[in-house]
């Protein structure tokens, strides 16, 4: 496949729509401003004419970008040439390509097309892929993946018979389904993810773009009339708004995570999800740095959790992070069996060394200390009723208690497991070879009580991901530190 190939013509439409999306707000503002007053001459229509000219320019630019974008496979490289005014070339060796991630948007699926993101070991920044083919036939994308896979295996297996590798028919060698989210799982995800708040805040941000055109005085007068008509009506309206937002949130969760599946394909984890835009993401096993089980209080109450993995750079499911939600929601009792299929080398245990009882006071104080000053101020300013503000200390003290109760650690051969809690409970499993750094620190107050804190950093994105357990027994912290610093 050495001949130059172009993207599907729908790519020009995709480029046009992408640019148009960024121009929506300016266009709406121009349209609203131009709609006011009577039109008496040519210059009164200039804003609308300018909008039309801009649309034509954007459309022509999209077509030109499509015409100048070509790609081919040659001499063990993916070679891409592109550029509107300046011709650019990008050559990506096969051995640098970690995965090809596919996604099918609304404009792709009717034509049997996919968008391909090329992820490499050195992707420049989180959220950005090394290269992107915005619209090619799905058959071509699969063939591209096969060729790159075969060439990579050919280079990695120098001791094998070259002819056997080149004529390898089974691609991938092994493929098996591991996990699928049911409709019940997606509903649990929607009900426990706080999506209603996201929907309402998103609506507020959208409306803020048009703040100059919203008649606040009239709305205020109407609100005051509602108040006079009775609090019951306001309560009913608020309930209806929240109910609609909740229904929309649940529906959007089904759109995003519908048909969520995980399968093993040779040495890769393949994740597919989405109803409107179907995404397929490939995660090489050798890029997985660690596993975490995350439980928010509501999911923990019903025995559910989220399984995430730390990925060594690149963009996968999350645009601005290398933390991948491997299983967005799953029954916790199923996790050991599911993860054993994907990561048989990890030891998933619930048996942890607990924190010493004498560190409980520090956890409670650390959780509640920031409310002490406001409580004192309220007590003085509104004496004696201000003393009721002391009740604010209780929930934060309980949080400190549960944080202490959750804390723990365990060493199993070449694996370190840490358990800790903020609001969310985290259980992290890390191989020694994947830990970038391990820090041991002790404050003056900890030294008085023979306590010490341990924190680890895994390679994940640009800054890495850190796990920390505070106030361990001094001997336990020393054991962890010595385990990491010695073979």
Please report whether residue 180 resides in a domain: no
Please report whether residue 75 resides in a domain: yes
407-451 pLDDT, tens digit per residue, is 999 999 899 999 999 999 999 999 999 999 999 999 999 999 999
Task: Let me know whether 15 and 64 are in one domain.
Answer: yes
Task: Let me know whether 215 and 349 are in one domain.
Answer: no
Element (H, E) at 306: strand 304-311
Q: Single out the residue in 144, 171, 198 at which a domain terminates.
A: 171
Give Cβ neighbours of residue 473 (< 8 Å, ≥ 6 apart): 355, 356, 450, 451, 452
Q: What is the pLDDT averaged over residues 395-413?
A: 93
Task: Let me know whether 96 and 242 are in one domain.
Answer: no
Please report whether residue 108 resides in a domain: yes
What's the domain range around 280?
A: 261-355+407-485
Task: Let me know whether 78 and 19 are in one domain.
Answer: yes
Q: Which two tokens stand for residue 188?
A: 């649990």
Task: Let me know whether 411 and 394 are in one domain.
Answer: no
Tally of structural domains, the chain: 4
In the predicted model, is pLDDT for residue 140 greater than 70?
Answer: yes
> Concatenated DSSP letters for 64-118?
HHHHH-EEEEETTEEEEEE-SSS-EEEEEEGGGEEEEEEEE-TTTGGGTEEEEEE
Task: Let me know whether 463 and 336 are in one domain.
Answer: yes
CA neighbor of 186 nearest in space, from 294, 76, 280, 304: 304
Kindly report the CA angle at 213 between 197 and 221, in degrees rounded to 5?
75
CA dihedral 275, 280, 281, 284 (to 10 degrees): 140
pLDDT of residue 427: 95
CA 337 to chain centre: 24
Please report whether residue 177 resides in a domain: no
In the predicted model, is pLDDT for residue 160 greater than 90?
Answer: no
Task: Let me know whether 303 and 328 are in one domain.
Answer: yes
Are the beta carbons of 197 and 257 closer than 8 angstroms?
no
Burial 166-205 (b: 16+ CB within 10 A, else e): eebeeebeeeeebbebeeebbebbbbbbebbeebbeeeee
* DSSP conformation class of 385: G
- Of 158-167, 185-194, 385-394, the one with minimum mean pLDDT is 158-167
Q: For residue 380, with 0-12 CB atoms within 10 Å meaning exposed, 13-18 middle and 19 or more buried, which class applies?
A: exposed
Task: Let me know whether 373 and 335 are in one domain.
Answer: no
Task: Let me know whether 119 and 131 are in one domain.
Answer: yes
Task: Let me know whether 346 and 366 are in one domain.
Answer: no
Q: Single out the residue in 236, 257, 278 at which a domain terminates.
A: 257
How far is residue 115's CA from residue 72's CA, in Å, rounded to a whole number?
A: 16
More confident residue, 475 or 54: 475
Please report whether residue 176 resides in a domain: no
In the predicted model, is pLDDT for residue 456 greater than 90?
Answer: yes
Please report whether residue 467 resides in a domain: yes
Please report whether residue 387 resides in a domain: yes
Q: Single out the residue in 112, 145, 171 at which a domain terminates.
A: 171
> Concatenated DSSP letters for 423-462?
SSEEEEEEEGGGEEEEEEE--HHHHHTTEEEEEEEE--TT
Task: Let me know whether 241 and 202 are in one domain.
Answer: yes
For the whole model, what pTM was predicted? 0.73
Please report whether residue 73 resides in a domain: yes
Task: Let me know whether 373 and 478 are in one domain.
Answer: no
33-55 pLDDT, tens digit per residue, is 666 556 566 666 676 777 778 88
Q: Which two tokens stand for residue 238?
A: 């608020």
């Amino acid at each position: 496949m050495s001949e130059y190939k172009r993207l599907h013509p729908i790519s020009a439409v995709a480029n046009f729509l992408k640019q148009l999306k960024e121009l929506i707000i300016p266009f709406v503002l121009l349209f609203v401003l131009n709609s006011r007053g009577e039109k008496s001459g040519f210059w009164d229509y200039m804003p609308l004419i300018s909008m039309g000219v801009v649309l034509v320019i954007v459309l022509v630019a999209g077509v030109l970008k499509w015409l100048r974008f070509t790609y081919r496979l040659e001499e063990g490289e993916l070679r891409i040439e592109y550029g509107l005014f300046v011709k650019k070339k990008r050559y990506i060796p096969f051995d640098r390509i970690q995965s090809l991630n596919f996604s099918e948007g609304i404009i792709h699926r009717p034509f049997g097309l996919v968008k391909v993101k090329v992820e490499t070991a050195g992707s420049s920044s989180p959220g950005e892929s090394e290269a992107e083919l915005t619209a090619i036939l799905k058959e071509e994308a699969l063939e591209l993946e096969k060729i790159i896979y075969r060439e990579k295996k050919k280079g990695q297996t120098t001791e094998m018979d070259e002819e056997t590798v080149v004529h390898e028919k089974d691609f991938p060698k092994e493929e098996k389904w591991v996990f699928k989210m049911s409709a019940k799982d997606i509903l649990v995800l929607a009900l426990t993810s706080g999506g209603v708040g996201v929907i309402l805040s998103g609506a507020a941000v959208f409306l803020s773009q048009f703040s100059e055109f919203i008649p606040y005085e009239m709305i205020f007068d109407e609100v005051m009339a509602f108040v006079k008509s009775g609090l019951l009506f306001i309560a009913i309206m608020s309930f209806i708004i929240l109910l609609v937002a909740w229904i929309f949130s649940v529906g959007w969760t089904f759109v995003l995570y519908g048909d969520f599946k995980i399968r093993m394909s040779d040495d890769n984890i393949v994740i597919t999800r989405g109803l409107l835009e179907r995404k397929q993401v490939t995660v090489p096993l050798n890029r997985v740095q660690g596993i975490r089980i995350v439980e928010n209080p509501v999911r923990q109450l019903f025995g559910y959790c989220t399984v995430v993995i730390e990925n060594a750079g690149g963009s996968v499911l999350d645009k601005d992070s290398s933390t991948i939600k491997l299983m967005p929601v799953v029954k916790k009792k199923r996790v050991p069996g599911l993860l054993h299929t994907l990561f048989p080398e990890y030891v998933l245990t619930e048996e942890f060394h607990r924190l010493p009882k004498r560190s409980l006071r520090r956890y409670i104080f650390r959780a509640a200390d920031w409310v002490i000053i406001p409580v004192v101020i309220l007590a003085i300013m509104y004496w004696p009723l201000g003393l009721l503000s002391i009740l604010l200390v209780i929930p934060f003290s309980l949080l400190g208690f549960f944080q202490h109760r959750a804390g723990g650690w365990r060493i199993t051969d070449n694996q370190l497991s840490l358990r800790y809690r903020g609001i969310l409970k985290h259980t992290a499993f890390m191989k020694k070879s994947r830990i970038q750094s391990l820090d041991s620190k002790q404050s003056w107050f900890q030294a008085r009580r023979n306590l010490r804190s341990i924190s680890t950093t895994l390679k994940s994105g640009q800054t890495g991901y850190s796990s920390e357990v505070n106030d361990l027994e001094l001997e336990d912290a020393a054991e962890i530190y010595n385990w990491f610093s010695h073979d």
